[in-house]
Amino acid sequence: MDLFDKITKNWGPLGKWSRMGHGYFFFPKLEGRISNKMIFKGEEMLVWSANNYLGLADHPEVRKADADAAAEYGMASPMGSRMMSGNTDFHEQLEAELSDFVGKEKTILLNYGYQGMVSAIDCLVDRHDVIVYDSESHACIVDGVRLHQGKRFVYPHNNIENLEKQLARAKAITDETNGGILVITEGVFGMAGDLSKLKEITALKSKFNFRLFVDDAHGFGTMGKTGAGTGEHHGVQDQVDIYFGTFAKAMASIGAFISSEADIIGYLRYNSRSQIYAKTLPMPLVIGALKRLELLRTKPELRENLWKITNALQDGLRKEGFDLGNTESCVTPVYISGGLPEASNLIVDLRQNHKIFCSIVVYPVVPKDTIMLRVIPTAIHTLENVEYTVEAFKSIKKKLKAGLYSKKEMAVGITGDQL
């Protein structure tokens, strides 16, 4: 069998839909400045699918800091990996400020969160150690776990009773191998918006000797009194041994970081392959992140606005009988029943007729015959945006119930090829 033949015949679980939805359901182009309204296929849409939680993407101070840094340093500087020739005072200043913000001794910057997470998991454990992780962990955690040469146990999502069982299995093994145990979970689960049960998880530390790694991509900047994340929200930040945050969500940028004890960060600096063998974060991203962190710290009104919009949206939808699952964060999943024809017709209707752009998630990410509309509020949405959206969702729910989306062809008279 020729390798390319095999690939051309099967583009994988998402790729198989490409003919029907490329450019519309997948790889859509949202144009214009990043805001609550953007242009999709030439039309202005109310956008609920950007992880621009605090609205920093187009904040004038952020735009100026980014532009000034790019004018001063260009995008190339500094050259090389951090370890070889890519270290600067700005990188170290950002690390120090992040440590201070999340209440940890030291921080290492990561050039991308995904790679950083994969590498961090890889270098923290060896074959004598056991990883125990939540079943709904982000792909970067799953990929990091895949590199692990020792045992790994997965516990059903947020099931603490089962976690305890997996920890007992892990302990039996590490007693033999003289290894350690690493528990990994997301802080805010990025798809469903529910929180990991950090209080219950950390309470198990007295019974089992493990270290806790929290991927708080969606919690950093949005959760907790100061925005320091899900650990702060639960009052157990000091029990989180390794804290991961990305700049890609609340900071609306690129890059990420891990914070922990000084020794652990030192070890990661000298062993994390995705950082040693890859180029450092460019200066505009570092200086831009310093500005974003400053705003995150000094402008609590950004987080207050985000939560005002989040609460209005979630309350409004719940009042209308929508199922939002167990979200306790800004991530707002709206679960409705229906299969693929319903999901695609409904999204077309939302975009064509209501001018609302949000993401849609179907099986296998959610159970069969369930559609999840993933709505991401931000600090720059308005209460009018919320009201309008709740009304639009009511209307699509009615049409869904009446079976209007169940036909094979698109409800609004458009077929996949015309999209």
Ligand X SMILES: Cc1ncc(COP(=O)(O)O)c(C=O)c1O
Binding site for ligand X (CB under 6 A): 112-114, 117, 138, 140, 186, 190, 215, 217, 246, 248, 256
Sign of the dihedral defined by the CA atoms of residues 385, 391, 395, 398, in that order:
positive
Q: Computed from CA positions of residues 201, 204, 210, 211, in that sequence, does the dihedral angle turn out positive or negative?
A: positive
What is the DSSP-derived secondary structure letter of residue 280? P
Closest distance of CB 248 from ligand X, Å: 4
Residue number of the CB closest to ligand X reads 113
One-letter amino acid for residue 248 of the chain? A
Instruction: Compute the least distance from the CB of residue 112 to ligand X, in Å.
Output: 4
Nearer to ligand X, 102 or 217 (CB): 217
Q: Which is nearer to ligand X, 312 or 375 (CB)?
A: 375
Q: How far is the CB of 246 from ligand X (least distance, A)?
A: 4
Asked if the peptide bond before residue 341 counts as cis, ω within 30 degrees of 0, the response is no
Decide: 148 and 122 in contact? Cβ < 8 Å.
Answer: yes
Which of 186, 342 has the CB closer to ligand X? Answer: 186
Distance CA 387, CA 313 (A): 8
Nearest-approach distance from CB 341 to ligand X, in angstroms: 29
* Residue 253 vs 385, nearer CB to ligand X: 253
Cβ proximity to ligand X: between 292 and 351 the closer is 292
**Could you give the CA distance from residue 295 to residue 307 in angstroms, rounded to a whole number?**
17
Smallest distance from the beta carbon of 139 to ligand X, in angstroms? Answer: 8
Cα separation, 22 vs 18, whole angstroms? 5
Paired residues of 259 in beta bridges: 107, 243
What is the smallest separation between the CB atom of 249 and ligand X, expressed in angstroms? 7
Q: Give the nearest distance from C-beta 281 to ligand X in angstroms.
A: 11
* C-alpha–C-alpha distance, residues 317 and 88, integer Å: 48
Measure Cα distances from 306 to 52, 118, 127, 290, 294 in Å: 10, 30, 43, 21, 17
Judged by CB, which is closer to ligand X: 182, or 411?
182
Min CB(287)–ligand X separation in Å: 18
Closer of 248 and 390 to ligand X (Cβ): 248
Residue 356: name the closest of 346, 343, 370 by CA: 346
CB neighbourhood size of 337 (10 A): 12
Q: Provide the phi-psi class of 260: left if phi over 0, else alpha when psi is between -120 and 50, else beta.
A: beta
Tell me the H-state helices in 47-197.
60-73, 89-102, 113-124, 139-146, 160-177
Nearer to ligand X, 139 or 383 (CB): 139
| Least distance CB 14 / ligand X (angstroms) | 16
Distance CA 170, CA 295 (A): 42
DSSP tag of 196: P
Residue number with CB closer to ligand X (132 or 419): 132
